[in-house]
Structure 1
Amino acid sequence: MRAIRGLWRWRHNPLRRTTDLAEAWVALGALLLILVAAPLVGLLVGGLAEDALQQSVREQRQDRHPVVATVVRKADLTPFDPDPETSTGRDSHSRVIADWTAPDGTARHGSVMAALESPRRGDHFTVWTDEHGRIVGRPLDTATAATHAVLAGFGTAAAFAGIIEGSRRLVVWRMVRRRYDRWDHAWSQAGPDWGRTGTGS
């Protein structure tokens, strides 16, 4: 972006080349796009993501229901269960065999993850099910949906700015390459002994 600072200085400079001014204008255009267009694109994408995620929140709240389950017994450990010595984020969860009643009134029985550190027979905990009593994940909440939308907007704005800057660098690189090609052509036309012209040697 140093070319922008030189834009004013190059206006009437007799040493100014056409490419110098072109590079400065390309840099200025890229800066304006980064400052204006990138935030607008980020806002647009963030708004669309917010609408889609909030719609998903509403649908999940309609389709998923919290029900109270009762522990029958602790489930046997399987080879797929995490090592108790290395478990991290799920330390407060235990796999149990439990009974619960589906929203449609049918009795259900099965293995579920309970938010209990030391589950005992008869303990109660909440699980989320669909209308038929099948275990599903907790529905997305409004705050999480808004956070995802904001991150999507920021990410899109940053990516758009990166594309603009990459395009600017590519254009300037092509300008410099063309300038060097013209110099090489002019040098080849001048000849290898141009400095001795008229010396009589």
Structure 2
Amino acid sequence: MVSHIYKGIRKVTGLALSYIYTPYTKLIFYLNGVKFSKHLSINGFMKVFVTRRGQVTIGKKLLINSGHNHNIIGRQQKTIFWVEGKLIIGNNVGMSSVAIICNHDIEIGNDVTIGGNTVIYDTDFHSLDSTIRIDKSKDKTNAKKGKVTIKNRVFIGAHSTILKGVTIGENSIIGACSVITKDIPANEIWAGNPAKFIKRVK
């Protein structure tokens, strides 16, 4: 009996919150100067931080799952957009518990699916020179950066890491837990750490 009551409360609470997530995210986007379409579907609360020089443009039909109650596959976190560069997200993009850290330039095409707990970085964050890393201001400014481009209809498996300066070609698939350190041609499957070619997409 107690179990039924608990499950009922859980369902009602989840349903009530589902009506809050998208309007709340739209408000956060608006306050951060994000340009977005009305066709958003957000499950969970996001972390959004756009600096004064940051620019974010989002296309139609963005679907985001965020946090430990949505798309439960383990290692859940809030979806994070941290932007002080230029971030462009195309139409019909879906992502779950993803962290996009855009210091320079990240572009995501149309019809892209990004699996849970994936991270996308367009910077090394720190200099490779240990003498520069001592000075925090110099460390950040001397960190290497490179545009990340994810082209149309790419599928990225859960828990993957996309590093600076890479392009993932159209229709390509990235296996779960992969680390992408170099360009991936169109219509190919890559996986591993670092990711290697597996086979062509049929």
TM-score, with length taken from structure 2: 0.21
Radius of gyration: which is bigger? 1
TM-score, with length taken from structure 1: 0.21
Greater RCO (CA < 8 Å, at least 6 residues apart): 1
As a proportion of its length, which structure holds more helix? Answer: 1
